[in-house]
Amino acid sequence: MSRSRTAAATVAGAAACLLLSSCTGTTPGSANPVPTSPASATPSGNQADSDVPKVAGAPLDAGKYATDPCGLVPADVLTSLKYTDPGQYRPKGNTVDTQAGPSCDWTLRGEGTGLQVIVGTGNRERGAGGLAGYYAAYREGRPIKFLERAPDTEGYPTIYVDISDRRARGNCAIAVGVADDLAIGVQAEGYRGQDDSCAAATQAAAAAIKTLKGA
Measure the CA–CA gap between 68 and 32, rounded to whole angstroms: 19
pTM: 0.81
Single out the residue of 198, 164, 28 nearest to residue 104, CA to CA.
Answer: 28
Residue of 31, 210, 18 lying closest to 116 (CA atoms): 31
Candidate from 14-18, 84-88, 92-96, 182-186 with smallest mean pLDDT: 14-18
Quick: pLDDT tens for 85-103. Answer: 999 999 998 887 789 999 9
Mean pLDDT score of the chain, rounded to an integer?
82
Tens digits of residue pLDDT in 36-86: 555 544 433 333 467 899 999 899 999 899 999 999 999 999 999 999 999
The backbone torsions φ and ψ at residue 172, rounded to the nearest 5 degrees and listed phi first, read -125, 120
Give the model confidence (pLDDT) of 118-140 as tens digits: 999 999 999 999 999 999 999 99
